Each structure stands twice: as structure tokens, then as C-alpha cells.
A and B are shown apart, each in its own frame.
Chain A
Amino acid sequence: MHKLLLKGGLVVDPAAGEIFPADILIEKGKIAAIGQDLEASEGTVIDVGGRLVSPGLIDMHVHFREPGFEAKETIATGSRAAARGGFTAVACMPNTDPVADNRAVISYIRARAEQAGLIKVYPVAALTRGSRGEELTEMADLKEAGAVAFSDDGRPVSSAAVMRRAMQYARMVGLPVISHCEEPTLSAGGVMHEGYMSTVLGLPGIPAAAEEIMVARDIILSEHTGCPLHIAHVSTAGSVRLIREAKARGVPVTAEVTPHHFTLTDRAVAGYNTSAKVNPPLRTEEDVAALKEALADGTIDVIATDHAPHTVEEKDVEFQLAPFGMVGLETAVGLVWTELVIPGVLSPVEAIRKLTVNPARILGLQDGVIRVGADADITIIDPGLTEVVDPSTFASKGRNSPFSGKKLQGLPVATIVRGRLVYDRGLLAVT
């Protein structure tokens, strides 16, 4: 079997909180050795040249649209986008058509990921049948089929009674519940954050309270049921306060933030820019500041993209008619570095922790570590490399990025999954 030696890198160990110079020897898809001056008698040698060698990044919130919406994205194109963005694993949300609420769809997703053969795709199964918020899915069967969590992302469970039962049952099955927190009667009709910008643009707003009420409800239900709860895409300062307080009390709650929510505000919607239409909506400067603070103090555990590709035609319409969502896989690392690491909000190790071990721990995965015997899933990051975002270069089918033209620093240059180079920016010497 092929051997791969990564020479001269700075290895990031997010679990131990260390960065140290070392070579990594990969054999049979696993990490065989970590140490100084390793030699390979055969196989390929990659000169990392002092760049960061991170455990493979995990994006625990993507929409790969297959089955059902292949014009937006497929598991193959989504996998390519993930690899290009430095991600070795993703968890894909179940709002496909049909909804991933049964073993057949979960198996199909896994088979398509296998065929694509690039990255690890972990399916998230629906919490309720058809994500209709009424009957529970066969959670034990779904877990056996390979589901790593349950969520009705995009169609949040409005009934507190159903949510309570679902969390009781998910806890028994032993998988976390991921909640897209949105109180539907408050958000109804809304297309952007409710505030000065929505007033000026004359667009119906989604108040911060629509998210916070559900964050509060689900925290209470998590405490009540003991079910691990992961709050998806936190967007408001009020949600941060609720999560911080719940964590202090010992409620089994974790949370994620997206790069767009810690980078942009509702001002990005000016000019009716449909690329900036996303749910939850882009909020205010105060919210962005609170999200950064929550990243720094550990209230927010995970950075996830909520990668949501749409076709150009779907977004090229009146703002109110455009679908919610933006692509995120291929700009995530650059935004984490540019917006968080370089300004000192997070250290490189802290940032990588929120992209590796933390999501792995929440989803119960063995990934996200560099350890002898572990899968050789590795992302090489060049913290000095810059580029201007150009959606036309994306591997994703989606072009719906609000970051077009933005200069980013700190980019993935190579992605290795189970010892195989699945993305190579062409900057490393390979012999």
C-alpha cells in the first residue's frame, strides 16, 4: 500500500492545544508515525514547507441537496467543494427530496458519497417524518444506517410537545439533536433581520426574538430530557446569552456559528443583494461582536458553514422570491483566518479545535485528531496565503456567495482523506 510522508510541517494538535514541528508518515490510510526527521523508503513525499498540518476539518452543517435538488448541488460536487475548502468530512442535512427520514435515503447518501470517493459524508437524519414536525422517525434504524445526529433543519419543529418526545427518544438512541431555532409565527414572511435595514429596504423582518425564543425552549427541553442539544447557526447576542447561561448550569448544549454570521451584518443586504439572503438572517454589529466573544470564551463550540447552494436563476429574482442560503465550504477557512485568527479573536489552535475535535465530539466521530493509528485525514493550511474570492472558481455548483471580491488570508492548500490527496492547490513540492 502507498505511503505518504508529510515533511517539515507545523502539526496542530487541537486536543492537546499544541502546535509543534513534526513529520507525519501515513501508511494504508492511517497515521503510522509522527516525529522528527521521518524517512520514507518508498512512496510520496510532500514538502509542507512550514505550513500548518491540521487534523482534517469537519463541517457539521452542509446541504448537499442530493437526492432531489441536483441542479443546486450533488454529493459529488459538494464533496469537491468540501475538499477544495479544506474539509475532510461533512455532516449533511436531511432536507432533501425525499427527506432523509428513512434508511433508504441514508443508505443512498452514503453510497453516493462512496462513489464520489473524496471526503467523508456523515448523514444527519430527520427528527420527524418528512420533517413535518408530527411523528418521530425510526431513530434507532437510522442510527444503524449511519446517521450521526437528528435534525429538522430548515423546517424547525414548532410543537414543543413533539420536540420534547423527539429529544427523549433521541437520547435513548444515543445521538444528539441539532436544532434550527426559529419560532415560525414570529419569522413568518420575514426575509431579513428586522431592524433599521429592513425598515429602509421595506422588506419584512425576522426579529431576533424568533430565534431566541426557540433557543430558550430547546435549552429547557434539553435540560428536561437530558438529551444533548446542538444549536445550529447561532446568530444573535440574545441566543449567546441563553447558551452561555445554560452551559454554566450544566445543560448538555453545544452551539455553532457560521462564517457569514461572524463576518457580515444586515447591511450586506443593501441593494437587495440576494446572495446575502440567508436564514437565520445576517444580524447587527452588536450580534457579530457577541458571536466573536462567544467563540473566544467557548460558549460557541463549532464553526460550521451551513453551505446552502442554489442555482444562479433561483437567486436572480426579486429579493422576496429568492431562496435563503449561501455557499460556504470554499471560503470558510479563509474567513476564519481573516476574521478571527489574524485579528486575535481565536488562536490558530482554538480556531482549528472548532473545526475538528469539537464537531467530532458532538457527533461521536473518531475524526478530528492527528494520532498514530487514526485515519490520515489532514488539512494543510497556509496562514499567509491570500486570494480574492471569485465564485466562478468554486468547485460547488453554487455561486451564491456574499463574499465575491473579498480578500482572504489563510487558506487550505492540500486536503488528505484516509491518506489520499483529494485536493492540492499546487503549491507544495510533491516527490
Chain B
Amino acid sequence: MNWKRKDVLGLQNLSVEEIEIILDTAVSMKEVLGRTIKKVPALRGRTVVTLFYEPSTRTRTSFELAAKYLSADSVNLSASTSSVVKGETLKDTARTLAAMGADVVVLRHPMAGAPNLLAETIPAAVINAGDGTHEHPTQALLDMFTVREKLGKLAGLNVAIIGDILHSRVARSNIWGFTKMGARVRICGPATMIPASIETMGVEVCTGIEEALEGADVVMMLRIQLERQQQGLFPSLQEYTRLFGLNRQRLALARPGALVMHPGPINRGVEISPEVADGVNSVITEQVTNGVAVRMALLYLLGGGGIPVA
């Protein structure tokens, strides 16, 4: 292992080698998760702070458990967005945490680039747990981990990402990650939710979901938020489902054994039909388990864990 990077802020700047190190490390971590006593002393005496400026039960819990399984001390700090605007600046909050001895700060923030600001301010390692519509690197890493575990490889696969690409940090991180690893990525969604010049990121933009699903090895559905309808980005959930919802008929266009993924939480019957969400192709619950393993890997690599896991 040869890990040098202080922070993980996004997949845009990670190398193929770095991604492989993370995924390989996560394999060992997943093995730990399978034990009866799933705790190793790797980060004993280290402190992990999760600093969340957005509500998120699943990502925060995942990081918190990951820290605990590695024997790190973990503290959760939830701040409301209003305090970002009115109170202490993010940089000052970060300096305070660093001064208290945090070794790793996990940041979730509604504004793109906030983790970059944090990382350049403090000596502690910073992990981006989702910043605005920029990146969500741990989600993409757990998605890649899941695909690699299930299909044995990433290179050469056809990955379809479907939904609100414009507001999706998950889509951006997955596009960087999967294209770096040699997969072909297609995106599809309402024309109002396809960001400007996204094809320059190396993806193919499909107008219809059928075109996107054709021969796909991985189908990644994104959550559609009702507030986007109020913003006038699509007319109704009914029409959204009709055009972009994944159901059994449509899934048949993908390769047999294609993986169906979703970063959660799911809108059952909207972007994905219940039979597909719960069907044999779905790896949605395994994504959650793998999320803990991948986050353990990152905490271990960035937290300077000297004690071997195995």
C-alpha cells in the first residue's frame, strides 16, 4: 500500500491506482464486517468527526459505524445551513475541530467546494461526504466496489445512470470513477435535468431510457425530488415515471444479470418499480453494506491507521 493523499474530496482527481487501493482495502474491511465481533483496533486513539450541514441519516450512520468498527473515537456534529450563513464560518469551525485534535473530518455540506475549503484550512484529513451538486466520492466508490464484487471487473462495462443528473453529485462522482476505470457511461433524464456540456466529461447522453438501457451491465437509478417539479423542471411524477421510471419491461433491455443500483432513499413506484427494486437484479441493500466497508477503507487510509486489519 502506498497512500499519499491527505484528503478525498472527489473522484475527479483520484488516479486509477488510488481507486484500486481504496477498493482493495475495502475488500479486507468487508471481511471484518462479516465477523461475529466486527471490530478491529486499526484506528484506536484516533478521532473522527462527522460534520454534517445537511440532514443525512444513512451516510452519517455509515461513517459513524465505520469509525467504530475501526475503534476510532467518533463525534457527530450537525449544523444547520442557517448557521453557515450567519454564525461561525466553515473555516473557523474547521480550525476549532482541528484544534480539538480531530484526525479525520467527514464533511457533508449543501455547497459545492466546501470540503476543498476545509481541506486547505486544516491539517486533518478531510473526506467529502457529499457537497452540493459537486461530488459524493464515497457513494461512487461503494458503487464501484459493488459492481466489481458482483461482475468481477469495471473495465468495458456499460453503465447507465438515469434521472436528475443536473442536481446529482452521485452521478458526477460515478461518471468520473467509472470512466476512469474503463467503463462506458451513458446518462439519461429529462432534458431540463441534463447539465450543460456534460458530454465533455466523457459520457454519452441518451434521450430515451430504452436507448440508455440497451445492453447495460449496470443500471443506476437516481432519486427524483418532488421539489424539482415545483421548480418547473418536470411536469408531474406520473409523467416522470412514464418516461424515466425503471420497470421490469424496460430492465429486459439490459444485459441478463445486469445490476440495478440506487443510492437511496428510494421513491418506490416513481423512479423504480417495487418489483425491480426488490428483484433479483437489485443490489440496493448490498450497496448499503458495502458503503460501510468502503468508508472503513477510507478512514483507515486517511486516518493513518498503522495497525494492520487482518
Contact = CB atoms under 8 A, between A and B. Distances in A.
Interface string B89-128: 1110000000000000000010111101100000000000
Contacts of A202: 112-113, 131-135, 169, 172
B77 interface: no
A148 to B, nearest CB: 37
Interface string A194-206: 1110111111110
Interface residues of A, number: 21
A321 B114 CA distance: 10
Contact of B90 (A195, A199, A313, A317): A317
Most buried by A among B91, B111, B133, B135: B111
A199 B198 contact: yes
Given A196-B197, A199-B197, A202-B172, A272 B91 contact: no
Nearest to B165: A199
Contacts of A196: 196-198, 200-201
Contacts of A313: 89
Contacts of B134: 201-203
Contact of A203 (B89, B112, B198): B112
Nearest to B199: A196
B171 to A, nearest CB: 10
Contacts, number: 69
Nearest to B89: A317
Given A202-B133, A202-B134, A318 B111 contact: yes
Interface in A52-83: none
Contacts of B109: 318
A318 B201 contact: no
Contacts of B310: none
A390 interface: no
Nearest to B113: A272
A205 B109 CA distance: 19
B33 to A, nearest CB: 31
Contacts of A271: 116
A145 to B, nearest CB: 37
A199 B135 CA distance: 11
Contact of A194 (B116, B196, B200): B196
A430 B252 CA distance: 86
Contacts of B172: 199-200, 202
Which A-B residue pairs are the 8 nearest by beta carbons? A202-B134, A272-B113, A196-B197, A202-B133, A202-B112, A199-B195, A318-B111, A196-B200
Interface of A: 194-196, 198-205, 207, 271-272, 313, 316-321
Interface of B: 12, 84-85, 89-91, 109, 111-114, 116-117, 131-135, 169, 172, 195-198, 200-201
Given A200-B12, A319-B111, A321-B85, 5 more contacts: A196-B201, A205-B196, A317-B117, A319-B113, A320-B112
